[in-house]
Amino acid sequence: MTAVEPPSWTGRSLPRVEDPSILRGHGRYVADVASQDRCWYAKFVRSSIAAGRIVGITAPPGVRIYTAADLDGVGEIVASLARPDFVTTSQPILARDVVRFVGEPVAMVLAETEAEAEDALERVVVEIEPLPAVLSVADATADQARLVHDVDFPGDPNTVVDGRIHTPGFDEVFAAAAHRVSVQVGSARQSAMPLEARASHAAYDPATGRTTLHVTTQMPHVIRTGLADVLGIREDDLRVIAPDVGGGFGAKMALAREDVMVVHAARRLRRNIAWIETREENFMAAWHSREQVYDVEGAFTEDGDLLAVRADLRCDVGAYSCYPVTYGVEPLMAMAELTGPYAVREYSVRSRAVLSNKCPIAPYRGVSRPVQVLAMERLMDVAARQLDIDPVDLRMRNLVHEFPHRIPSGLVLDNASHRQTLAVAAEMADVADFRRRQRAARGEGRLLGIGFSSFAERTGYGTPAFAARSAPFELKPSAVADVITPGFERVVLAMDSSAGVTVRIGASPHGQGLRTALAQVISDELGVSPGEVRVIHSDTDATPYGWGSFASRAMVLAGGASMLAARELAGRLRTLASSRLGGLPGDIDLSDGEARHRETGESVPLFVLARDTYHSSHLIPDKGEPALEATATYDPSGTFANACHVAEVEVDPATGAVAVTRFLVAEDAGRLVNPAIVDGQIQGGVVQGIANALFEELIYDDRGVLVTTSLMDYLPPTLHEVPDIEIAHLETTSPQSVTGAKGVGEGGTIGAPAAIANAVSDALGHLGIAVDHIPATPHRLRTAIRSAQAAQAADKTDRETAS
Amino acid sequence: MSQTVPVRLYVNGDRHDIDIEPRRTLADALRDDCGLTGTHLGCEHGVCGACTILVDGKPVRACLMFAVQAEGTSIRTVEGLAPDDQQLHPVQRAFWEKHGLQCGFCTPGFLMLVAGQLEEKPETDEEEMRDVLSSNLCRCTGYQNILKASMAAAEEMSG
């Protein structure tokens, strides 16, 4: 017999198993569960004042209303880290005495239909005595600043995280450097804006006393823990199900106060209660992100080596700490990862989270990394100009190329291809050709620009990485830790008596195609086809405890655990097969639903081995268990994907509008399990990055009222704003990922803003205009262009007058 | 506000006689009264297009139309797109083959938008298709594969 390599399912762009039901309109989202149930509906009365004292809440008779006074026995949401600089605050379920942002839930009304609940909402009157609102980091940290929370701030006022790193050699190296280059970058507030806003439906079962919550979340197990803790009930009194989820992007990985109320009311009234968030509420109250300003200074040698980076990072985190990842999520990520793929030796950073009377922040695809990369990539372009070095050469010179490499914050970059992705991107971009086109266009009054962005995307990180956000702490003998440390993923794999394969996972996919991709990985190990593998997820009654789907982690962690479990089960099948076919387990190959002896060619169907196990258990050769099961956990410290993005833009000098005319991605996400899915993640991510760079911005007025509360004010791109996105893949594997796959969920969003900011800055460089703050909206660019043109004209007049 | 009026809707070839408040939107009536939850609501102010359906063959935002206005019209929703349980409509098949969906929330709206366009004008070229697709929002895919799928469906339906 010649050995035949079994076909690999991994690496193929299989159409997704998730799709047929959705395409037929049979998807089941939370609002669909509510629609077909005779449930009552909840609506929330929200504060219209950014900061104030609640003087009175009145509702006419007949309106079923809950206020904070009705919440006896209900706790508050507390999300904390064990760090000396971390200031803990508490999030009440309904505002108690004071309101801290516009949109904060003050009361809940219930009615038998959604329309009647909306009617009831209109009849509730809330009187609030306004207080001065804290609306900027500068105001919040000023000496006599009003405190958003009445707690003790050991450092600056309203400063809830104040992290610092200062490497021992920094001062000397920084002071001695030949060149220092500084940039200030910033991002406006953004909304992740999943197309399905938040929703929940709680059903109380009088027979069991349990409540089933359907909720649009990325982390059902963690949400169940949070709900049980706040409500003071046992976790097994709750079953949490995330049915089809209409996008998350991070905004659905936080415990919502509204969900606590829905479960509380369902339990108290023994009724089914639903809450379907409106788009306006979603903009006001469903978590914001990325309102950040960074001052970054790089110290370079004469030749362009970046020796040291000094940074001051400020994140406006709004009014409360999101559960479970806390309001430390933005500044702590930025502090740890700022220097990215560059071989910086010395680092001095201060990174702060500062409270304000605005909507609290939660993660949004990439979290701080779009701004981190904007900072480093603007620094590279500004330095290139200042040192008169080609920007691609300057990057190439400084990119890490030997691995593993420890960056100054202590993180270790594993195998990656920073220089190679830059080289591939530069070749695709053909900069020399672009410069010719740029010059020709300039002659016609058209402004073209090109911009690069090289970055590392930390993905698939487990418990070790999350533990590093806190200082080491010891558990008290009888008390739980008051800190939540996410990380591992666990799967339970089983083959049934008909040889069907089921895997139950703690991760909670919501559009990423994980069911398809895991089936591909498992099929290769077990020698079955992906159609025979069923993936069960997002139901706390049916899956092992897990942290969910976020942070570009599911393929690495749930994929790794699935591979490990499948290998164990495959070992069991080989043992069973060798007792029938002779030889050793190592002689047996699994493929096409059969176990085959490699030498003799004799085979036995897996179906027969499965029937042996369950139906003739008295004949199991080694007196093994009558089961074909394997459980595995995967909890690595994390692996870095990497990429280089290139944007070409054209700026209309009359309107300030930017057209992204070309977008290139050289991506290295390790081994591609399903290339079509990977490309889909990159494309979707890049478009969210284009949005961050050019369009999307949540705007508060000077009283702290959000003015961008509809899709006519907040502007996600349509197809018209999006170019074709060209993608090239490299596949560098790493010992940090057992499948070889690295995470790829966030990279598009992380790299695109910097590439576009650099491209627009290139287009407008002759006018002295640089894009350091995003989004670069038409209004901002037009204003900058006009003032630059006016200054140039005045300068010319001066010179003419002088001569 | 509990006064109701009788309304007769013809949806995907079925007759639905429902009693609803006059203020009920067509989207809510389809979802809650007709049990057709494939039509999704993403914004309820007519921008996102997730609730796009066909009314007498034309794409319509079901959130911007009252159900009473649809009295007597012929309505098609995503549930009525496939000819049967075994086959998909060419647009559905193209979206599956070209990976034109991720979370799937916007998908029914895009399917109806494209199906409406191609049934009226199968020879739609890419430039026009870009205009058509720019009616709706998708937050996951970056539109690349939605465009590819729509053009693949156009090729099949015009061929």
Total domains in chain A come to 3
pLDDT surpassing 80 at residue A692: yes
Q: Are residues B76 and B30 in the same domain?
A: yes
**Quick check: is A16 in a domain?**
no
CATH code for position B76:
3.10.20.30
Cβ separation A25–B24 shorter than 8 A: no
- What pLDDT shows up at residue A367? 97
**Quick check: is B149 in a domain?**
yes
Residue A250 makes CB contacts below 8 A (sequence gap 6+) with A192, A218, A289, A362, A363, A364, A365, A367, A550
Q: Which amino acid is it at A534?
A: R
The confidence band for A803, taking pLDDT boundaries of 50, 70 and 90, is: low
Chain A, window 12-71: residues with a beta carbon less than 8 angstroms from a chain B beta carbon:
13, 15-16, 18-20, 22-29, 31-32, 35-36
Q: What is the pTM of this model?
A: 0.97
The whole-angstrom distance between B76's CA and the closest CA on chain A is: 12
The confidence band for A470, taking pLDDT boundaries of 50, 70 and 90, is: confident
Cβ separation B107–A26 shorter than 8 A: no
More confident residue, A383 or B1: A383
Q: For chain A, what is the mean pLDDT? A: 96
- What pLDDT shows up at residue B100? 98
Cβ separation B104–A22 shorter than 8 A: yes
Phi, psi of A264 (to 5 degrees): -60, -50
Q: Are residues A696 and A780 in the same domain?
A: yes
Give A356-372 as a DSSP string: -SSPPB---TTTTHHHH
Residues of A in contact with B130 (CB under 8 A): 719-720
Cβ separation A25–B147 shorter than 8 A: no
Residues of B in contact with A119 (CB under 8 A): 1
Q: Are residues B13 and B68 in the same domain?
A: yes
- What pLDDT shows up at residue A95? 98
pLDDT surpassing 80 at residue A94: yes
**Quick check: is B38 in a domain?**
yes
Chain A, window 741-760: residues with a beta carbon less than 8 angstroms from a chain B beta carbon:
748
Q: Are residues A428 and A312 in the same domain?
A: yes
- What pLDDT shows up at residue B16? 98
Taking CA–CA distances from A114, the nearest residue in chain B reads B28
Closest partner residue to B142 among A36, A116, A686, by Cβ? A686
B94-115 mean pLDDT? 98
Cβ atoms within 10 A of the Cβ of A176, count?
11
Residue A565 makes CB contacts below 8 A (sequence gap 6+) with A491, A492, A493, A503, A630, A631, A632
**Quick check: is A167 in a domain?**
no
Out of A634, A659, A681, a domain closes at A634
Total domains in chain B come to 2
**Quick check: is A508 in a domain?**
yes
**Quick check: is A192 in a domain?**
no
Strand (E) or helix (H) holding B157: helix B144-158
- What pLDDT shows up at residue A7? 63
**Quick check: is A453 in a domain?**
yes
Report the percent of chain A where pLDDT is more than 90.
92
Strand (E) or helix (H) holding A442: helix A431-443
CB A775 within 8 A of CB A291: no
Chain A, window 217-246: residues with a beta carbon less than 8 angstroms from a chain B beta carbon:
244-246
Out of A592, A608, A634, a domain closes at A634
Q: Are residues A204 and A314 in the same domain?
A: no
| A106 closest CA partner among A231, A347, A366, A284 | A284
**Quick check: is B153 in a domain?**
yes
Q: Are residues A323 and A272 in the same domain?
A: no
Residues of B in contact with A251 (CB under 8 A): none
Q: Which of A13, A18, A22 to mutate to test the interface with B (most CBs of B within 10 A)?
A: A22
Measured CA to CA in angstroms, residue A637 lies from A172, A411, A460, A631 at distances of 32, 10, 8, 20
Q: Are residues A614 and A715 in the same domain?
A: no
Q: Are residues A345 and A267 in the same domain?
A: no
Q: Are residues A687 and A741 in the same domain?
A: yes
**Quick check: is B36 in a domain?**
yes
Residue A359, domain extent: 292-464+637-790
Cβ separation B145–A32 shorter than 8 A: no
CATH code for position A716:
3.30.365.10
pLDDT tens, residue by residue, A385-408: 999 999 999 999 999 999 999 999
Q: Are residues A333 and A432 in the same domain?
A: yes
Q: Are residues B9 and B74 in the same domain?
A: yes
A759-786 mean pLDDT? 97
A712-739 mean pLDDT? 96
Chain A, window 457-476: residues with a beta carbon less than 8 angstroms from a chain B beta carbon:
none
pLDDT tens, residue by residue, A544-558: 999 999 988 999 999
3-state secondary structure A383-429: HHHHHCCCHHHHHHHHECCCCCEECCCCCEECCCCHHHHHHHHHHHH
Instruction: Give the Cα separation of A691 and A696 in Å (integer).
Output: 5
Instruction: Give the Cα separation of A468 and A451 in Å (integer).
Output: 34
**Quick check: is A191 in a domain?**
no
Q: Are residues A620 and A645 in the same domain?
A: no
The two tokens of residue B51 are: 């609730």
CATH code for position B124:
1.10.150.120
Q: Are residues B58 and B97 in the same domain?
A: no
Out of A227, A244, A276, a domain closes at A276
Q: Are residues B58 and B123 in the same domain?
A: no
pLDDT tens, residue by residue, A484-511: 888 999 999 999 999 999 999 999 999 9
Cβ separation A510–B103 shorter than 8 A: yes
- What pLDDT shows up at residue A431? 97
Instruction: Give the Cα separation of A134 and A702 in Å (integer).
Output: 10
Q: Are residues A686 and A731 in the same domain?
A: yes
pLDDT surpassing 70 at residue A2: no
Q: Are residues A720 and A650 in the same domain?
A: yes
In this prediction the ipTM stands at 0.98
Q: Are residues A513 and A391 in the same domain?
A: no
CATH code for position A262:
3.90.1170.50
**Quick check: is B85 in a domain?**
no
Residue B136, domain extent: 90-158
